């Protein structure tokens, strides 16, 4: 099975990178929407508009992109597990990816809170948490490209 997949390696890798980019674009933007949303009055037209933007971004872009990134990344992992399974960089990268997925889960939970007109965090707290995806992205890219460990 792996030999059959290996002829599509470049395509699998390309689609993995494409969907990671889509996922990260959403992961960078959604927390920024939350910052703005937290600063507008509950029940205002702007608040209602943010609710629509947040749900569409999460459901139509971020969730499907994460699923596709995991699918294609999982295929790559499966294809090369024997070669890289003992490499520390891969374990650090996978841990950071799981951290990003957990953060994704927090974003989804906060979206539901905003939808109920709750403000789970202050805009200042949200601004600080907005730095999580870039930091994890830097770590992941360094692990994959530089392979320092």
Domain ranges, residue 70: 2-145
| pLDDT interval class at 137 (50, 70, 90) | very high
Alpha helix (H) residue ranges in 1-149: 2-6, 9-38, 45-56, 63-84, 88-115, 123-129, 132-145
pLDDT higher than 70, residue 141: yes
Domain count, the chain: 1
Q: What is the pLDDT of residue 3?
A: 81
Q: What is the pLDDT of residue 120?
A: 85
Q: What is the pLDDT of residue 6?
A: 85
Q: Residue 52 is encoded by which pair of tokens?
A: 């629509």
Q: What is the pLDDT of residue 13?
A: 96
User: Could you read off the pLDDT of 45-92 as tens digits, one per residue?
Assistant: 999 999 999 999 999 999 999 999 999 999 999 998 888 889 999 999
pLDDT exceeding 70 applies to what percent of the chain? 99
Q: What is the pLDDT of residue 1?
A: 61
**What is the average pLDDT value for the chain, to the nearest integer?**
95
Q: What is the pLDDT of residue 109?
A: 96
Q: What is the pLDDT of residue 95?
A: 97
Rg of the Cα trace of the chain?
Answer: 18
Q: At what angle do helices 9-38 and 63-84 cross, to 10 degrees?
A: 140
């Amino acid at each position: 099975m792996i030999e059959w997949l290996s002829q599509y390696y470049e395509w699998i890798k390309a689609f993995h990178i494409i969907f990671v980019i889509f996922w990260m674009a959403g992961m960078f933007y959604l927390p920024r929407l939350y910052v703005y949303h937290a600063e507008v009055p509950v029940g205002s037209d702007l608040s209602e508009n943010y609710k629509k933007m947040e749900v569409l971004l999460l459901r139509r872009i971020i969730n499907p992109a994460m699923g596709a990134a995991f699918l294609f990344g999982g295929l790559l992992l499966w294809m090369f597990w024997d070669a890289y399974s003992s490499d520390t960089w891969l374990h650090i990268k996978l841990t950071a990816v799981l951290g990003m997925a957990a953060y994704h889960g927090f974003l989804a939970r906060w979206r539901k809170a905003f939808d109920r007109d709750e403000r789970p965090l202050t805009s200042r707290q949200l601004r600080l948490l907005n730095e999580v995806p870039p930091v994890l992205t830097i770590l992941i890219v360094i692990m994959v490209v530089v392979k320092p460990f």
